[in-house]
Amino acid sequence: MAGRTTIYNKIISEQSLAKILPENKHLAEDFLDYLQSIDRSPQTIHQYKSDLNQFFCWNVEFNDNKRFTEITKREFARFQNYALNTWNWSSNRIRRAKSTLSSFSSYIENILDEEEEYQDYRSVVNKIQSPVIEPRREKTIITDDEVQMILNQLISDKKYQCACVFALAAFGGARKSELLRYKVSFFDKENIMETAALYRTPEKIKTKGRGKNGKSLTKYTLLEFEPYFDIWMQERKRLGIESEMLFVKEDGTPLNVSTLDSYAEYITKILGRPFYFHSLRHQLCTRLFKIGLPADVIQEYFGWSGLEMTGIYNDSDTSESFGKYFTSDGIKGSDAKL
């Protein structure tokens, strides 16, 4: 069984890219330069570039290669219809592309308005109603028992690095890209907090956020991670790996995201349903709620800016919450625990 799947289509071709109207191409390049000047991350700029290339390839093939500033609301609606029904894009994917086109339009309207040919330009992208959001991917909820089952199987299969990656995600809650930024030294005994049974990174780790440097956070990991760290360190010693980075290839070079994707496919086979690393952020948040941690403590653990994120990541069933307080013996107080 494969992991969660996204539908990909051959949208961008070298032939179509070569035919893009020079003015459209230059405007897009100027826009991407502008994004760099306001410190957008390389990943964000890469995504904007991809979205613009896809739109302009459609414009070449199906819209007479029109100047972007002359494209009408009807034509933007046609693009949306084509993306939805021919490319089979999800509503979220369409909304993201429209957000790129809207930002591009706003750049022309607000930054290039001093140039005569763009003085009268007005953005119309957002006047097109977007399709209703309908999730297309099945959400995978992983239980505590399944976390342990997967770890046991990975160790049995001698997939020691994979087990260590999985354990760090399960007991630390880091995003997939963040897992690759951990160093061996982060798990020296001196980095166990004096006031809590947690590892705390001695330096901040780049996480998701605005700007090319993202948001840097101190990260925490439950001590349950230790056995899987120790097993992986023993294997590294056997292989003669001395890199400061925790997750590496056999030649000592840092691991990449594609390897983590292959790990996810392997874990999917063990679990028997689609696995993706982000599900472990939900799993850990849910677990912390179940053992009675207050929402503000969970917020601090994950480094979230607002309490509302704890609700988004808590996958507890409503009946579980009710069961703490509404019992056959009557209604319990707010200090009840599961």
> What is the helix (H) or strand (E) element at residue 326, kind and residue range?
strand 326-327
**Lookup result for tokens 């006047």:** 127
Contact between residue 243 and residue 254 where contact means Cβ atoms under 8 Å apart: yes
Q: What is the pLDDT of residues 26-60, one digit of tens each?
A: 999 999 999 999 988 887 898 899 999 999 999 99
d(CA 226, CA 268): 24
Return d(Cα 136, Cα 175) in angstroms, integer.
21
**pLDDT tens string 307-337:** 888 988 898 875 555 555 556 666 665 554 4
Give me the phi and psi of 190, to 5 degrees please. -65, -15
> Measured in Å, how far apart are the chain's first and last C-alpha atoms?
35
Give residue 11's pLDDT: 75
Give the start-to-end residue ranges of the domains of the chain.
Answer: 14-127, 144-277
Distance between CA 174 and CA 240 in Å, rounded?
27
Cα separation, 210 vs 35, in Å, equals: 12
Level-2 CATH architecture, domain 144-277: Orthogonal Bundle (1.10)
Burial of 44 (0-12, 13-18, 19+ CB in 10 A): middle
Which residue has better confidence, 210 or 115?
Answer: 115
- DSSP one-letter code for 38: T
Q: How far apart are alpha carbons 110 and 117 in whole angstroms?
A: 13
Mean pLDDT of the chain: 88
Q: What are phi and psi of 10, to 5 degrees?
A: -80, 90
- Residue 330 in 3-state DSSP? strand
Separation in Å, CA 95 to CA 90, 169, 196: 9, 29, 43
CATH code given to domain 14-127 = 1.10.150
**Greater confidence, 130 or 133?**
130
In this structure, what token pair is assigned to residue 296?
């503000």
* Neighbour count for residue 193 (Cβ, 10 Å): 10
Predicted pLDDT at 44: 86
Of how many residues is the chain composed? 338
> Span 68-86, mean pLDDT?
95
